[in-house]
């Protein structure tokens, strides 16, 4: 490709139009300021820059030019980019296409960093990275001005140059450890399930596979919940759709724009050189008599689910050569994946305890929960063990004493923010921002669920208090959006504010890295997932590689909140119990991801999905995944991968095992 194809603007209509508009930008800015003087509630225009462009393709003539703005309202800084209307040099781009890239008033509380690129040849551009790890398309400054843009941002938010990369500027990254934690609110709204019907036959994907994995005991588990106020979740919950706009925007980032953000991901995942160390050896071959074993298992096991019947590759994808699954996945699950058992009841749990209440065989208990789960009324007693809040060797008396001590400790922690006066709050900007973010989140978390629905719901207020208290308890992590998704089922099960708080603390000991500002915890998990797919389904991995999907961002929501938006409320609790046992591996959630992807591989490859289509398809899987068969598939994959699978996951990849010395943080003196 010739350089002129990329950079020649002499005959570009957008460029000419922007020059005319740019000459009038300052007059408009002054006019906007005068108009604001009569409207005290309007946002203040801080910065305006014309001829800032987004490239849907690699050709400069097909760019979308627009105006970049920084506005300020109620002490918050907002970023906007609006494409020009009425001028276009590319007939392929409709006005609707251009408007899809509009960035409308994104608060800097949702921005993690700004990456500046100054190539020796070409135009400077910046990439705005959100706290979730997602990024907007690169913004090209055709008339220069990146330095002025960053300088303006720095006047209104704390902008610190990264110690690792001089071209990365971290937003609100305070040097003081205390200040740093009080600014750690910049994670965008938890990503909800897109409403509406799927455009793919998703119900059929899992309908046949779920028949064998469901027992009468599991069915009874749901009916037994009626006395606890659990009601089937409504099919459409508007509060769950408030933030889908962000994910939809990300799905619109085209191949060219993603290449740049993918490079940013690969440069910062921490495994640039170490990646070579984690190249996996092929999975060992299976026994030669695998097919015979399968037939025997199928005859003797009534819970085995049949081959999937919803897709016929030869009929549907007769023009697409879909590579065969190297693992013979359906047979693999029948051989090594055990069917689900009825949930564990009180009498069975008591058998695991000695006379003083100690769990005699913790591994056997975790195995039982892994394969069957827990009856709902018993979860209040068992979940603290699984989360690491109660030690398995603790006695009844020790647990009761711990409960009373922790109740007083919680009251002390809660008093810290309750004692902040109105005058103090006026001078405590970060506290107000954190409180405002929590207030906003709790009123849209699981509000269609009976336990939290309705106005002035006491449980919603309790959730708010717990999250505020946690933000003071863990200064370094603070509060990030998505945490309310984890707390909601815990509070529902524990039905006690103090106990729910400490169970939530224990869970965050494992999953806190999901919410770190640098998103390294998420990136390492996505990296590990890519290595597992490469190990367990190399054709699928190669397909993702050929279609620029190796960053696995389409699985981001699955990992961030542990499939909370993919299953109904009760099923989510069942899955979390399986994950919390850490029976086979502490990274079982990654094998669940692989299992779902492998079940959909024929559809993904057969329909030749690119990143945008794949992201939409993955989102629409929500509510259509059969949990029992998926857990069974994941178990088979984990056993099959064996040591090679464990070697594919870099050390330190979240979630980490519970701390040996309990759940209390070890704080350095300089924090206090």
In angstroms, the CA 209 to CA 309 distance is 9
> What value does the mean pLDDT take over residues 239-267?
44
Q: What is the pLDDT of residues 186-212, one digit of tens each?
A: 333 433 333 333 444 444 444 444 444
Residue 240 DSSP one-character state: G
Alpha helices in 301-391 (DSSP H): 313-316, 329-336, 346-350, 362-372, 376-387
pLDDT bin (cut points 50, 70, 90) of residue 387 is: very high
Residue 202 lies in a domain: no
Q: Does the pTM of the predicted model rise above 0.75?
A: no
Same domain, 439 and 526: no
Same domain, 78 and 65: yes
- Per-position b or e across 38-73, b if 16+ CB within 10 A of its CB: eeeeebebbbbbbbbbbbbeeebbbbbbbbbbbbbe
Same domain, 546 and 584: yes
User: Has residue 606 got a pLDDT over 50?
Assistant: yes
Q: In terms of Cα–Cα distance, which of 128, 142, 113 is closest to 49?
A: 142
User: Has residue 573 got a pLDDT over 90?
Assistant: yes
**CATH value at residue 442:** 1.10.8.270
Pairing type for strands 111-117 and 168-171 reads antiparallel
Same domain, 370 and 423: no
Same domain, 474 and 355: no
The residue with greater pLDDT, 36 or 524, is 524
Pairing type for strands 44-54 and 139-141 reads antiparallel
Q: In terms of Cα–Cα distance, which of 528, 538, 524, 536 is closest to 648?
A: 528
Question: For position 510, what pLDDT does the model report?
Answer: 92
Residue 322 lies in a domain: no
Q: Is the Cβ–Cβ distance between 592 and 630 less than 8 Å?
A: yes
**CATH value at residue 51:** 2.30.29.230
Question: For position 135, what pLDDT does the model report?
Answer: 81
Question: For position 101, what pLDDT does the model report?
Answer: 80
Residue whose entry in the numeric block shows the structure tokens 């015979």: 292
Residue 220 lies in a domain: no
Question: For position 61, what pLDDT does the model report?
Answer: 67
Same domain, 490 and 528: no
| Last-in-domain residue among 117, 149, 174 | 174
Same domain, 526 and 626: yes
Alpha helices in 512-609 (DSSP H): 520-536, 538-546, 556-560, 569-581, 588-599, 601-606
pLDDT bin (cut points 50, 70, 90) of residue 331 is: low
User: Has residue 312 got a pLDDT over 50?
Assistant: no
The residue with greater pLDDT, 282 or 463, is 463
Same domain, 522 and 447: no
The string of DSSP codes covering 142-183 is: TT--HHHHHHHHHHHS-EEE-SS-TTEEEET--SSHHHHHHT
Residue 593 lies in a domain: yes
Residue 280 lies in a domain: no
Q: In terms of Cα–Cα distance, which of 622, 654, 623, 625 is closest to 247?
A: 622
Q: What is the pLDDT of residues 421-479, one digit of tens each?
A: 999 988 888 788 889 999 999 999 999 999 999 989 999 999 999 999 999 999 888 89
| 3-state class percentages of the chain: helix first, strand second, coil last, to nearest 5 | 50, 10, 40
Same domain, 532 and 504: no
Structural domain including 132 reads 43-174
User: Has residue 589 got a pLDDT over 70?
Assistant: yes
Domain count, the chain: 3
| Last-in-domain residue among 174, 193, 222 | 174
Residue 104 lies in a domain: yes
Report the first-to-last Cα separation within the chain, whole angstroms.
Answer: 59
| Last-in-domain residue among 174, 195, 227 | 174
User: Has residue 60 got a pLDDT over 90?
Assistant: no
For the chain, the average pLDDT equals 74
Same domain, 53 and 164: yes
In angstroms, the CA 51 to CA 143 distance is 7
**CATH value at residue 352:** 1.10.472.80
Residue 281 lies in a domain: no
Same domain, 565 and 487: no
pLDDT above 90 covers a percentage of the chain that reads 43
Residue 644 lies in a domain: yes
pLDDT bin (cut points 50, 70, 90) of residue 607 is: very high
In angstroms, the CA 670 to CA 259 distance is 42
Same domain, 573 and 501: no
């Amino acid at each position: 490709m010739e350089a002129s194809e990329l950079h020649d603007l002499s005959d570009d209509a957008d460029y000419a139009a922007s020059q005319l508009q740019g000459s009038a930008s300052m007059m408009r800015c002054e006019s906007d300021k005068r108009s604001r003087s009569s409207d005290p509630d309007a946002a203040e225009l801080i910065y305006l820059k014309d001829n800032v462009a987004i490239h849907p393709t690699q050709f400069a003539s097909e760019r979308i030019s627009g105006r970049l703005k920084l506005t300020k309202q109620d002490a918050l800084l907002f970023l906007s980019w609006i494409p020009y209307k009425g001028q276009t040099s590319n007939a392929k781009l409709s006005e609707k296409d251009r408007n899809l890239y509009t960035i409308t008033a994104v608060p800097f509380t949702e921005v993690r960093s700004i990456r500046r690129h100054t190539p020796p040849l070409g135009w400077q551009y910046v990439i705005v990275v959100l706290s979730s790890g997602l990024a907007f398309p690169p913004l090209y400054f055709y008339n220069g001005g990146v330095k002025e843009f960053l300088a303006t941002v720095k006047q209104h938010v704390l902008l610190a140059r990264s110690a690792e990369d001089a071209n990365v500027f971290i937003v609100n990254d305070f040097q003081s450890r205390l200040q740093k934690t009080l600014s750690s609110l910049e994670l965008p709204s938890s990503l909800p399930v897109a409403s509406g019907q799927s455009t793919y036959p998703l119900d059929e994907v899992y309908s046949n596979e779920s028949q064998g994995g469901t027992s009468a005991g599991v069915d009874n588990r749901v009916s037994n919940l009626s006395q606890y106020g659990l009601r089937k979740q409504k099919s459409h919950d508007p509060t769950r759709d408030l933030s889908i706009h962000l994910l939809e925007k990300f799905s619109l980032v085209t191949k060219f724009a993603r290449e740049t953000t993918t490079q940013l991901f690969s440069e910062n995942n921490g495994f640039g050189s170490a990646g070579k160390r984690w190249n996996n050896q092929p999975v060992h071959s299976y026994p030669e008599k695998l097919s015979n074993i399968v037939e025997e298992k199928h005859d003797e096991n009534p819970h085995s689910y049949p081959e999937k019947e919803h897709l016929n590759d030869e009929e549907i994808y007769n023009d697409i050569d879909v590579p065969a699954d190297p693992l013979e996945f359906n047979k693999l699950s029948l051989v090594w994946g055990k069917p689900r058992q009825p949930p564990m009841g009180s009498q069975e749990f008591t058998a695991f305890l000695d006379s003083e209440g100690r769990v005699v065989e913790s591994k056997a208990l975790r195995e039982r929960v892994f394969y069957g789960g827990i009856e709902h009324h018993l979860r209040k007693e068992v979940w603290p063990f699984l989360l690491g809040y109660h030690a398995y060797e603790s006695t009844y008396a020790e647990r009761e004493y711990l409960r009373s001590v922790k109740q007083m400790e919680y009251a002390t922690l809660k008093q810290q923010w309750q004692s902040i006066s109105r005058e103090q709050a006026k001078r405590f900007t970060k506290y107000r921002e954190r409180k405002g973010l929590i207030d906003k989140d709790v009123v849209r978390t699981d509000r269609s669920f009976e336990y939290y629905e309705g106005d002035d719901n006491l449980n919603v207020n309790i959730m708010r208090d717990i999250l505020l208290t946690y933000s003071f308890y863990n200064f370094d992590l603070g509060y990030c959006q998505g945490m309310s998704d984890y707390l909601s089922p815990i509070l529902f099960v524990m039905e006690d504010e103090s106990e729910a708080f400490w169970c939530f603390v224990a869970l965050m000991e494992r999953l806190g890295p999901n919410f770190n500002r640098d998103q390294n915890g998420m990136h390492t998990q996505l990296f590990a997932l890519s290595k597992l797919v490469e190990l367990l389904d190399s054709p699928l991995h190669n397909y993702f590689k050929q279609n620029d999907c190796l960053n696995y961002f389409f699985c981001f929501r699955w990992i961030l909140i542990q499939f909370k938006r993919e299953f109904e409320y009760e099923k989510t609790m069942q899955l979390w119990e399986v994950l919390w046992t850490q029976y086979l591996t502490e990274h079982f959630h990654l094998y669940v991801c692989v299992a779902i992807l492998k079940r959909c591989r024929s559809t993904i490859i057969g329909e030749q999905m690119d990143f945008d289509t794949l992201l939409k398809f993955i989102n629409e899987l929500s509510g259509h995944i059969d949990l029992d068969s998926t857990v069974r598939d994941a178990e088979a994959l984990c056993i099959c991968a064996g040591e090679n699978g464990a070697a594919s996951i870099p050390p330190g990849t979240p979630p980490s095992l519970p701390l040996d010395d309990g759940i209390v943080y070890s704080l350095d003196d300089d924090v206090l």
